[in-house]
Amino acid sequence: MQKIKSSLFLKSLLLVLTLFIIRYLLAIFIFYMFPQALWKSTGEDFTYTNTNLVEAPREIETNLDTFWHRWDTYHYVKIATDGYDKAKYSDNVMFNWAFYPMYPVSVAFVKDMLGVKDARSVFYIAVVVANVFFVLAIYFLLKLMKLLRFSKEEVITSVLLLNVFPAAYFYNLAYSESLYLLLSVLSLYLLFKKKLVLAAWVLGFALATRVTAVTLLIPFGIYALYFMYKTMSIPKMMAYIAGLTTIVLTPISLYYLYLYGVTGEYWAAFKVQKAWNNQGAFPLRIFYDYVKDYGFKVFMPHILTIVLLVVVGVITIILIKKYWGTAKSGLLNGLTFEYATLLFYGILIYLVSSGVRSRSSIFRYLAIDFALLLVAVKVFKISYKSPVLTVLMIFASGIQTLFYTLFMTGTPVYGF
């Protein structure tokens, strides 16, 4: 059994590496052959003034080592190198408090272990750390799928779909996506294994990685409460609830306390989102904002975001309807509550992602919604052997390559 697990893990990594190499080579080709077309096709004015300490370049770079040093990468590298901005609280400046600490702290730890100080070397460390986290995420995703009794075909299909999603390239960049994917997968794996204390610690670290982890709190809490109700006395259950709540909130509370000491504002990380244009979120807000700004016209820099949300929304509605029939038929192998937890989490990720103001980052936010993907593969019986799915994956890979190229050019649409 161990050999089968190892071979499947290695096969999954080989798939990931192959897709990575193809994506990178195609993006480099597009980058050099059609640079001006990339700029003209977006139809936006690229005049850009960053109010923070680091300004992202907008010129076409010729140096390969600058391709990935874009957008949020600058802020993560700066935090890992110099720490958080030391200033009195203001929500009118794009201070780096908005970037939660687990990923840059991990990079800083490796940096200090190696004795590295210059920002360029820290950037390379950040990329390596992110990719290590992604490999670990794939490993625990396989363990989660084994726990959910996925077949080998379903496992390969899930890994492929995760990696051909248009924004999957962020797992390989110096961003927090790979760490968040690892922590969210691991927390659910431990939760389904009934290891509540460990699962709570991992969830706490996820909260200190990305604020998106709040979507995990409700399904995590419901599943944990159900298990405790079935197996514990009321006094023990109440003690567990208090302990788990304390554990989950400890990492993020420590970050907020640190910022309070630096800025004088306990909620600085939350309130500074206003400066980053991320305040006032509510489910499906993106549709309201698009119609308000562009009516029902096709505006290329954002229309693909609308199309993505509509497609995922329709699939989710169909999935919810079909899920109940699948559960009643017994095809979920007695794991109905586990799949329901995944489905609930996946829906919350969708609703939160559709509610932010940053239209150009929606693809990135939805890339971490592995839960919806796993339930869809199981319920819809999706297989990588399907010719239709093969065509769709090739199309998605093409979109991914385009977005990846836009990221490398610093173009502020879709790919950042």
- The CA-CA-CA angle for residues 73, 44, 394, to 5°, reads 65
What whole-number distance in Å separates Cα of residue 173 and Cα of residue 128?
9
Pairwise CA distance, residues 81 & 174, whole Å: 14
Q: In 10 A of CB 286, how many CB atoms?
A: 22
Domain limits of the chain?
Answer: 2-409
**315-339: pLDDT as tens digits:** 999 988 888 777 666 666 667 788 8
Both tokens of 361, joined, read 């980052």
Lowest mean pLDDT among 21-30, 62-71, 172-181, 365-374: 62-71
Average pLDDT over residues 398-416: 73
Tell me what pLDDT residue 169 has. 85
Distance CA 93, CA 355 (A): 22
Q: Any idea which of 6-15, 291-300, 343-352 has the lowest mean pLDDT?
A: 6-15
User: How much is the average pLDDT of 134-151?
Assistant: 90
- How far apart CA 56 and CA 54 sit, in angstroms, is 7
Higher pLDDT, 360 or 387: 387
Q: Residue 368: what are its φ and ψ, rounded to 5°?
A: -85, 0
- Give the pair of three-digit tokens for residue 89: 């609280």
pLDDT digits (tens, 9 = 90+) for 201-229: 999 999 999 888 889 999 999 999 988 88
Q: State the pTM of this model.
A: 0.87
Model pLDDT for residues 248-261, shown as the tens digit of each residue:
999 999 999 999 99
Give the residue from 173, 165, 180, 178 showing the smallest Cα distance to 211. Answer: 180
Distances (CA, A) of 197 to 177, 242, 243: 24, 11, 8
3-state secondary structure of 282: coil
| Locus of tokens 């720490």 | 83
